[in-house]
Amino acid sequence: MSMFCYQCQEAAGGKGCTKIGVCGKTDDVANLQDLLIYTLKGISDFNQQARKAGLNEQKTDAVILDGLFATITNANFDHNAIAAKITGAISERDRVKATLEAAGKLENKVYHDSAVWTGSVDSYEEKSGSGVGVLSTENEDVRSLRELIIYGLKGMAAYAEHAANLGFADAEIYDFVEKALLATINDGLSADELVALVLETGKFGVNVMALLDKAHTTSYGNPEITEVNIGVRNNPAILISGHDLKDMEELLAQTAGTGVDVYTHSEMLPANYYPAFKKYDHFVGNYGNAWWKQKEEFESFNGPVLFTTNCIVPPATSYKDRIYTTGSAGFDGFKHIQGRVDGKAKDFSEIIEHAKKLASPTEIETGSIVGGFAHNQVMALADKVVDAVKTGAIKQFFVMAGCDGRMKSRDYYTDFAETLPKDTVILTAGCAKYRYNKLGLGDIGGIPRVLDAGQCNDSYSLAVIALKLKEVFELNDINELPISYNIAWYEQKAVIVLLALLHLGVKNIKLGPTLPAFLSPNVANVLVNTFGINGIGTVEEDLVQFLG
Ligand code: SF4
Ligand code: SF3
């Protein structure tokens, strides 16, 4: 075993990747990522004191968020970039410590090794093997709970970073992230206390999604019903993927008038729904499908691709030289576009010039898809929706949000959507939608049967809609609504979305295509007994369960 990672749904053998990641993450990068998380615990120890003393600085929050985000599945595969983040984290930790010392506020206590370890790049490999990674917690239940919290924090950090990029920060969220990181190295906590912390992570999951929703809608307006073109035009073009709308804004502004078109891929599709982006004529639409189809779709796109976050698939050499990353994303050999300095926009000139030299995209589809059913838009249609429920035209809603992935077993979700009775509506968010957003499932009295709220973080919209319906129908419990949850997960953003739903009291969620490898049998039992979480079966069995 040269590494151990079991944070995503594709963990090898349903247990964990031990030599190389199914995602393509190499053992050196996996071990460095463990070490990066470890250094963030050390920073947290000092920064909690800095907070109490009113000495904390924004840059510390940024280092912690970026470090967590960079270790999300498929976000950053770049050995040197992760090593540099470790060095940066250690120096930030020591800066915070020195500030406390200078102010006479440094607590006199025994610190965890992560707060005092001083490494050099050369010693990383050695250090990462000892007492740092997932398996350094011996008790499998404690390990399971600790990792469940850490994976939730990773998703939380990603959303918090996108919000921060738009100028929306929440010190309570940052404070919680630090406290929770420290809890994962506190041997004094009982299993019950860790379970409580898992649920508290879900509470902050709701908060961070609300914050990002506010950041997006304040900056770019409320998503509105939009017909998104999935065909192509005959101009050179850039494909933008990931979740960061600030990058989207700056790329659109800088490509305007250059003759270079812009298309979205995978989780950037919902950018098409925002009023602020619709003014750009060169914003053509969406190209392709979910992240895991990128090898063939980047090949045929012909132009450069910009990753603003996960999910990156190790590329074919034929297109490797036209892939760019920015933010927390990275891959050895890709060009990385640097972050904003002094509040100035990122400089996308290199990728724009690159696009001009390349061919226009090859057409792989034609027509359009419809989306933009975030909370504001659905509320505008509330009367119609409520009427449809009251008259029985809509019998049941199915929340089918989350992630897509390459496993054959995910065909289940397409089959499930196709088999659903015609008087049901799918509420979706995240890249899971690509399993059913092109099926032409029709509408119910003008209400489409697939309502796409947006990115995975827009699952928040689905929660807002559910809470609103609960109010309209004067119900005491969200679970009395005719809404069932059949969630597909892949990486750690889905973990925070799931924990957020649990915090909101949602019960009987089906989670697939497989349950997480990081849930020990005992922890899985707690989730089953307390929340009724269960795995998927066959489409037929599950429909019987859902529809009684
Ligand atoms: Fe394996 Fe998933 Fe970890 Fe990648 S992120 S190494 S596929 S468990
Ligand atoms: Fe998709 Fe990675 Fe999770 Fe944001 S882009 S939902 S998998």
Which tens digits make up the pLDDT trace of 14-30? Answer: 999 999 999 999 999 99
440-453 average pLDDT score: 96
Ligand 2 center–CA 108 separation, angstroms: 43
Ligand 1 center–CA 8 separation, angstroms: 5
Ligand 1 center–CA 353 separation, angstroms: 35
Contact 10 CB / ligand 1 (< 6 Å): yes
Beta-carbon contacts of residue 524 (< 8 Å; ≥ 6 apart): 515
Question: In this model, does residue 124 exceed pLDDT 70?
Answer: no
Nearest protein CA to atom 5 of ligand 1, as residue: 73
Beta-carbon contacts of residue 361 (< 8 Å; ≥ 6 apart): 232, 237, 239, 263, 287, 300, 301, 302, 303
Instruction: Give the residue among 474, 428, 435, 432 at the shortest CA–CA distance from 453.
Output: 428
Question: In this model, does residue 32 exceed pLDDT 70?
Answer: yes
Note the pLDDT of residue 1: 84
Distance of alpha carbon 293 from alpha carbon 167, whole angstroms: 33
In tens, the pLDDT along 51-88 reads: 999 999 999 999 999 999 999 999 999 999 999 999 99
- Percent of the chain exceeding pLDDT 90 equals 96
247-270 average pLDDT score: 98
Contact 492, 154 (CB under 8 A): yes
Ligand 1 center–CA 490 separation, angstroms: 10
- Ligand 1 pocket: which of 17, 82, 406, 492 to mutate (most atoms within 8 A of CB): 17
- Ligand 1 pocket: which of 8, 33, 406 to mutate (most atoms within 8 A of CB): 8
| Proximal ligand: closest to the CA of 24 | 1
Nearest protein CA to atom 3 of ligand 1, as residue: 5
Distance of alpha carbon 498 from alpha carbon 67, whole angstroms: 22
Question: Relative to the CA of 241, which ligand 2 atom is closest?
Answer: 5
Which of left, alpha, beta for 29 (phi over 0: left; psi -120 to 50: alpha)? alpha
In tens, the pLDDT along 460-495 reads: 999 999 999 999 999 999 999 999 999 999 999 999
* Continuous segment of H or E residues that includes residue 263: strand 261-264
Beta-carbon contacts of residue 494 (< 8 Å; ≥ 6 apart): 155, 402, 403, 430, 456, 487, 488
Query: Cα torsion at 177, 179, 182, 184 (round to 10°)?
Result: -70
pTM of the model: 0.97
In tens, the pLDDT along 199-227 reads: 999 999 999 999 999 999 999 999 999 99
How far is CA 367 from each of CA 3, 241, 270, 294, 452, rounded to the nearest angstrom? 45, 20, 17, 20, 17
Note the pLDDT of residue 125: 63
Distance of alpha carbon 160 from alpha carbon 154, whole angstroms: 10
| Proximal ligand: closest to the CA of 72 | 1
Note the pLDDT of residue 131: 76
Note the pLDDT of residue 480: 96
Beta-carbon contacts of residue 391 (< 8 Å; ≥ 6 apart): none
Contact 21 CB / ligand 1 (< 6 Å): yes
Nearest protein CA to atom 6 of ligand 1, as residue: 21
Query: Cα torsion at 498, 500, 501, 505 (round to 10°)?
Result: 130
| Proximal ligand: closest to the CA of 405 | 2
Question: Relative to the CA of 16, which ligand 1 atom is closest?
Answer: 8
Contact 23 CB / ligand 1 (< 6 Å): yes
- Ligand 1 pocket: which of 15, 20, 23 to mutate (most atoms within 8 A of CB): 23
- Ligand 2 pocket: which of 490, 496, 511 to mutate (most atoms within 8 A of CB): 490
* Continuous segment of H or E residues that includes residue 379: helix 375-380
- Percent of the chain exceeding pLDDT 70 equals 98
Contact 25 CB / ligand 1 (< 6 Å): yes
Residue 389 structure tokens? 């429920």
CB atoms closer than 10 angstroms to residue 320:
13
| Domains of the chain in sequence order | 1-136 (1.20.1270.20), 226-356 (3.40.50.2030), 377-547 (3.40.50.2030)
Ligand 2 center–CA 154 separation, angstroms: 13
In tens, the pLDDT along 359-381 reads: 999 999 999 999 999 999 999 99
Residue type, 94: D
Contact 420, 414 (CB under 8 A): no
Question: Relative to the CA of 243, which ligand 2 atom is closest?
Answer: 4
Note the pLDDT of residue 118: 83
* Continuous segment of H or E residues that includes residue 240: strand 237-241
Question: Ligand 2 pocket by C-beta < 6 Å: which residues?
Answer: 243, 266-267, 291, 310-311, 403, 430-431, 455-456, 490-491, 493-494
Question: Relative to the CA of 493, which ligand 2 atom is closest?
Answer: 3
Distance of alpha carbon 111 from alpha carbon 127, whole angstroms: 18
> How much is the mean pLDDT over the chain?
96
